[in-house]
Amino acid sequence: MSDTDDDAAELPPSTKMGVCTFLVIFLMSALPTVAFVLGYSGIGYGLEVTAKSYDYHDEAVQVVEYLLIFALFLYLLDSHTWPIILQIPCYLLLFVGFCAILLLMVTETPYGPLCVLTVLVPLLLIGIKDLCYKHVPGHVYAIWMHSVLVTQGVALIVVFFSWALRGENFWDAPTRAIYSDRGGCKIDFEGLEQCAGNGTVPCFWTSTDKVDVEFNSQCRAQCLDIYEECEEAFIIWSNPFLAAMALIVIGFISLYLKPDDPQAHHGISAVVRFFAIFLFLFWIFASLAGAGDGLSSSLIAYALSMCVGSSIIMSVVFWKKLTSTDTIGGAYKQAEAYLDLLKGLVILAFTPLLILYLLICALNQLVRRTVTCCCPCFVRLTEEEKAHRGCLTKRASNQVEDFKRWNHSRVLVYAVYWGIGYV
């Protein structure tokens, strides 16, 4: 019998998931996935949406600048200490704003919609629990989420392969050319001048309507390298499969998140290893299929969004268990299963941002000493934070001390592995 069946058999009858409950959670949580497949994949209107996003590029960049300034303003003024009635709209505005930007700037961040999905689905599932199933214990709801997410993922894989294995949708040289053209990818003839058949039109198009692709001795398949910097074409084509794998992996992670079971971290470790192997094999396949430059950064962003999605489930569903003294050891062991791996990725990809973070923390400490100390009714700092006299904030100082206690040799080895995978 599987682990899921064993867990389900141990549940009291009042907390077992019935068919109606499964259908309600399944249909409600499937809405973002359906919208994602229709709007950002080849099954739906992904090519049209990507081409249209070029029209809003300048406006989106301007909105990003405003959001970053607003986020800096909130951080410097310690918005986490504000009254909750002010915190909620501010944080909601930031979240919605950045999600909208990731959905609009598909040409700059083709992985954006996928990252939004992997974060939004766990949030939606948590919202469904808070609204409809408050009486259900967190570990029980996690098993429910496992069933729902894995079912969604398997169904999406079936849909994707049923669509992708049809002749006109199979990923090959003609499909790559069609997706790159309809997705609005820029053409670069540098070093491939012989591929310019008629002015700026590539030689492999048989007609001006760009429907059929044909290669010959004068126009070889190598001419597709004019789209070398176009990673969005392959990502649009593979988005349903990547979304399905995200749902399945998050589903299995939610199954093994059991802070009261010190052995559960072995299950999480197995899931993380499986996901790492999947990313590596997918990267090899995509590289051989001519996915274009920038694929590695897209997969890293995809992996990070998976970490965020899993953390949402861990921190919200199991918050009470994670903060209880008798189960904190088991929770730490589960997190430790992939914590050093994540630290290596952070060191490799975000070192400049970490330095910037320390500078902002120093500025925040300066603001606390000169501005917020005069507004005790608005900014409620703890006595420990008020008494802290370092150059950095109390939290940043603690984080620096924690960094000094890392197993640096192991973390750097993981960073090297990430770097090899990126290159």
The reported pLDDT for the residue numbered 290 is 63
Measured between alpha carbons, how far is 267 from 253 in angstroms, rounded to an integer?
A: 8
- Cα dihedral 40, 45, 51, 52 in deg (nearest 10): -100
Measured between alpha carbons, how far is 347 from 354 in angstroms, rounded to an integer?
A: 9
Report residues of the chain scoring pLDDT below 70. 1-15, 197-200, 206-211, 229, 258-266, 289-294, 314-338, 372-381, 421-423
197 DSSP assignment: E
Which pTM was predicted? Answer: 0.77
- Do residues 176 and 233 lie in contact, with contact meaning Cβ atoms separated by under 8 Å? yes
Measured between alpha carbons, how far is 18 from 28 in angstroms, rounded to an integer?
A: 16
The reported pLDDT for the residue numbered 317 is 53
Residue type, 271: V
The reported pLDDT for the residue numbered 322 is 47
- What sign results for the dihedral spanned by CA atoms 170, 27, 116, 139? negative
Rg (CA), the chain: 24
The reported pLDDT for the residue numbered 130 is 86
Distance spanning both ends of the chain, measured CA to CA: 42
Domain ranges across the chain: 3-169+232-324, 187-227, 335-423
The reported pLDDT for the residue numbered 292 is 59
Burial of 151 (0-12, 13-18, 19+ CB in 10 A): middle
**How distant, in Å, are the alpha carbons of 24, 38, 140, 155, 317 from that of 31?**
11, 11, 23, 14, 21
- What sign results for the dihedral spanned by CA atoms 207, 212, 217, 222? positive
Residue 294's region, left for phi above 0, alpha for psi from -120 to 50, else beta, is: left
Helix (H) or strand (E) holding 329, with range, is helix 328-370
Query: Which long-range contacts link 311-315 to residues 24+ away (Cβ below 8 Å)?
Result: 312/119, 312/122, 312/123, 312/126, 313/122, 313/125, 313/126, 313/142, 313/145, 313/250, 313/253, 313/254, 313/257, 314/257
Token code pair at residue 276: 């790492």
| Neighbouring C-alpha atoms within 13 Å toward the C-beta of 294 | 15
For 55, residues 6+ apart whose C-beta sits below 8 A from its C-beta are none
The reported pLDDT for the residue numbered 162 is 93
pLDDT in tens, 134-159: 888 777 888 888 899 999 999 999 99
CB atoms within 10 A of CB 229: 14
